[in-house]
Structure 1
C-alpha cells in the first residue's frame, strides 16, 4: 500500500482550505469526504434558510464568497464548494466514511468502510454537524409532541399553529425565534441570561472572540464555539419577533419534561406542542480516539497557545474546524496553518516536498 504524505478528512470549508494550501506547498495528499456530493454541512440545512439569513460565508482561499441574497443556502454554498473543488483540481474522494485512525508502525492508518489509506500526516476537518448535542432531562421520553434539533429543523412552516418551546441561548435559537414568532406562539428557555451586543461586529471583535476559544484549546479543555462568545445580535429579519416579545419573555431551564409540556422547579408548567433543541454540536472526533489525543482536561490541546492546528499529543495530526476554526471566521487561516504544520511534520520524517 502506497503511503500518502497527507490525508484530509472532510471537505467542508476548512478541509477545502487545507487542501488548497497543501497543493500550493506541493504536498501529495487525498481528501476523503463522507457526503455523496460537495457542500459540507451546508447541503443538509433547511430549505427556508437563505443566503440573506446566514451569519456569513467566508471566501475560500483565492476566491470570493457567494452574494448575500434570497437564494437557498443549501443550494448556493454546495455549488460554490463544488466549483472551487473543480477550479483548483482538489483531490476529493467521496463518499468515504472513516471509522477510525490508528498508528501502524509509525504511519497513520485511516480505516473506512470503503477502504484503507496509509499516510504520514493527517488533517482532520470533520467539523461538528454530525454530532448534535441534546441534553437529557427527566421525562423527555414521555413527551407526546414533536422534538427537533437544529440538525433536523424542517423549516418554519412546519410549526405554524403549534406552540413551540425553543431551548438554547445561541445564534440558532435567536434565528429560530425570529422565523417562528410571526407564525405561531413561542417560548424561549436558556441556561443563562443571553448576552446581547448592540455594537458592530468588527474584525477586531471577531478576533477577540476567537482568542477566547483559543485560550480554552491551549489548556486542553473542550472547545466552546466562536459564536458562543461573540454575544447575540438581532438582524433586520428578527425585528418583528422582537416587536412581538419573543426575546423579552425568556425563562430559565425547566426541571423536567411531561407528556404535554415542561415543568419548572417552582411547580409552574407550560404546555407546548414542540420542543426545538437549539443546543449546539460537539466536535466529530470519535474516529481519532485510538490516537489518544485528548488531554486530562477532556479536549485536544493545540500548539501555539491554541492558535495553531497541530495536536500537541501527536504533531502528525492537524485539526481544522475545531475550536477557534470551527466557524468560517477562522477556517481559512486554519487551512493555511495546517498545511504549514504538515510540512513541519514531514520534514521530521525526511520526506521531501516542493515548498
Structure 2
C-alpha cells in the first residue's frame, strides 16, 4: 500500500527546521519536502553582501546557537552554514528537489503533488514556503514598455552589471537602502520611494527591534496600549554599509515614479529622467501557489489563519510567513515560538484522528 505520512512539511528553510526541532519530541511520522538542491532554504539565493540585522547570539533557531560571526552581524554565508549545520545536527527527514505544485484534500487525506509527477499522502500539512519565490513589483503605468533592464531584489547578487549605468532603485525599506548603498559605489543612482524614508538611531539593531516588537506583542495580547513612536519597527536599520553610504550623502529620495516611458521614468511632478536599469526593492508576496486550489487566498497569496492554523481547512497550518502566521515568524529568532505551538496543535490533531 502507498505510504501515508502523519505530516508533510512543504519547504526546507528556517521555518521548517524549527518545526522539525519540536517534532523530535513527538512520535509523528513526517517528511520535509524542499524544492532546493542543497540546504540553507532561500539564503543561497540572496545577494552576496547581505547580513543579518542582529548579532549571532540573537539570531538562533531553537536548541542550537548560531556560532559567533567574523563581523558584527552574521553574513549570508555564515547564515547558510548555520542552517546546514542545524539540519545535520538534528538529522531531519528531508527530500530535496521536491517542488510541490498542488495540494488536494480527498476524504480527509492531503494529496501532495510534486513537479516530477509523484504524489504523497499525509493526514496533516504544514506549509513553510516563505516569500522569496514571490517577488512583488507594483503596477506602474508603462512598466512593460521600458527598454532598459528591470530586476527585482530577489535576483540581485552583486553590483557588477550596474557599473557605469544610471540606476533607479525603488523602495524605501531596508532592502532599498542596503542595495542603494552598494550600487551607488559603482553607478549613478536615483532613489524612488513611496514615502519619505526614515532611519533608526545608529545603535538600534535587530535585537533591539525584536525586544520592542515582543513588548508590543505582549501589550496587545493584554489589551494595553504600546507606544512605538521612539523606534518605528519598519524604519531602516543603520548597518555599517548604510552608515557608510550616509557619509557619501546618497540617501536622497526623489519621491514617487508616476509612469515609465521607454528609456525613462516620469516623476510625480512631471519631470522625465532617462534610466538604464530599474532595481525593484518592493518586497514580496507569499509563496502559497501550491494551495491555490485548496483554500481561498488574497492577491498577495495570504490565507485566513488563526495564528498558524488555517481557518478554512482542518489539518493545514502555515508557518513563517510573517505577522499573520505568528509574531516575528519570518525571523530566525522569532519562528521558534510559532513552530512550537504549531507542532503542539498538529500532534493533538493527529491524536484525535487515531
TM-score normalised over the length of structure 2: 0.85
- 1:164 corresponds, among 167, 182, 199, to 167
**1:41 positional shift:** 0.5
The equivalent residue for 2:70 is 69
Do the aligned partners of residues 339 and 33 (structure 1) sit closer, same or farther apart at CA in structure 2, a change above 3 Å counting? same
DSSP-derived class of the 1:276 partner: strand
- Listed as ranges, the gaps of 5+ residues in structure 2 are 220-231, 324-328
Do the aligned partners of residues 44 and 25 (structure 1) sit closer, same or farther apart at CA in structure 2, a change above 3 Å counting? same
Q: Is the contact made by 2:69 and 2:75 (CA closer than 8 Å) also made in structure 1?
A: no
- 1:140 corresponds, among 140, 143, 161, to 143
The equivalent residue for 1:232 is 236
TM-score normalised over the length of structure 1: 0.84
Moved more, 328-337 or 31-40: 328-337
The equivalent residue for 1:200 is 204
1:156-305 equivalences under 5 Å are 156-198=159-201, 200-201=204-205, 205-206=209-210, 208-209=212-213, 229-247=233-251, 249-294=252-297, 299-303=302-306
The equivalent residue for 1:104 is 106
Do the aligned partners of residues 256 and 295 (structure 1) sit closer, same or farther apart at CA in structure 2, a change above 3 Å counting? closer
**1:260 positional shift:** 2.0
The equivalent residue for 1:10 is 11
**1:294 positional shift:** 3.9
Measure, in 1, the Cα distance between the counterparts of 2:37 and 2:288: 20
Do the aligned partners of residues 202 and 100 (structure 1) sit closer, same or farther apart at CA in structure 2, a change above 3 Å counting? closer
- What per-residue deviation string (whole Å, max 9, x for no partner) do you get for residues 60-110 of structure 1? 221111433369945433332222222211000011010111111111111
Moved more, 291-300 or 118-127: 291-300
- What per-residue deviation string (whole Å, max 9, x for no partner) do you get for residues 37-75 of structure 1? 11110111233x15xx33247212211114333699454
- 2:94 corresponds, among 92, 101, 104, to 92
Measure, in 2, the Cα distance between the counterparts of 1:98 and 1:4: 16
The equivalent residue for 1:339 is 343
DSSP-derived class of the 1:187 partner: strand
The equivalent residue for 2:227 is none
Q: Is the contact made by 1:206 and 1:230 (CA closer than 8 Å) also made in structure 2?
A: no
Do the aligned partners of residues 276 and 211 (structure 1) sit closer, same or farther apart at CA in structure 2, a change above 3 Å counting? farther
Measure, in 1, the Cα distance between the counterparts of 2:61 and 2:253: 38
- Listed as ranges, the gaps of 5+ residues in structure 1 are 216-227, 351-355
Q: Does 1:19 align with 2:20?
A: yes
Q: Is the contact made by 2:53 and 2:205 (CA closer than 8 Å) also made in structure 1?
A: no
The equivalent residue for 1:323 is 322
